[in-house]
Amino acid sequence: MTYRHLIIALLAGVLACPPPVLAGGVVGAAGPSEKAIVRGSPLQQGTNIFSGDVVEVGPGGEGVVTFGHNAMARFGADTAVRASRDANTIGLELLRGRMTYRTTSDQPVVGTFADASVRSESGQEAVAIVAFRNPKLVLVTAERGALAVTAGRTHRTVTVPQGQTVEVSLSDDNDPNGGTPPNGQQQGQNTTKPRPSGAMWATGVAMGAGAAVAAGLALSNNQHHLTCPQKAALVSPYVFPCQ
Q: Which helix (H) or strand (E) covers residue 148, if one does?
A: strand 147-151
In percent, the amount of the chain with pLDDT more than 90 equals 52
Alpha carbon 232 to its chain's center = 20
Alpha carbon 155 to its chain's center = 17
- pLDDT value at position 230? 53
**pLDDT over 70 (residue 140):** yes
- Cα distances from 87 to residues 12, 30, 72, 94, 147, in angstroms, run 34, 20, 17, 20, 21
- pLDDT value at position 97? 97
Contact 49, 81 (CB under 8 A): no
Q: Which amino acid is at 76?
A: G
**Domain at 21-235: CATH architecture:** Sandwich (2.60)
β-pair type (89-96, 109-113): parallel
- The more confident residue out of 182 and 230 is 230
C-alpha 47/C-alpha 26 separation (Å) is 10
C-alpha 230/C-alpha 97 separation (Å) is 15
Binned at pLDDT 50, 70 and 90, residue 174 comes out as very low
C-alpha 197/C-alpha 179 separation (Å) is 22
144-156 residue pLDDT tens: 999 999 987 777 8
- The more confident residue out of 22 and 198 is 22
**pLDDT over 90 (residue 7):** no
* pLDDT average, residue stretch 17-33: 69
- For residue 215, the tally of other CB atoms under 10 A from its CB is 18
26-83 residue pLDDT tens: 999 999 999 999 999 999 999 999 999 999 999 999 999 999 999 999 999 999 999 9
Binned at pLDDT 50, 70 and 90, residue 120 comes out as very high
C-alpha 215/C-alpha 144 separation (Å) is 27
C-alpha 144/C-alpha 127 separation (Å) is 5
Q: Give the CA angle between residues 98, 101, 45 to the nearest 5°.
A: 90
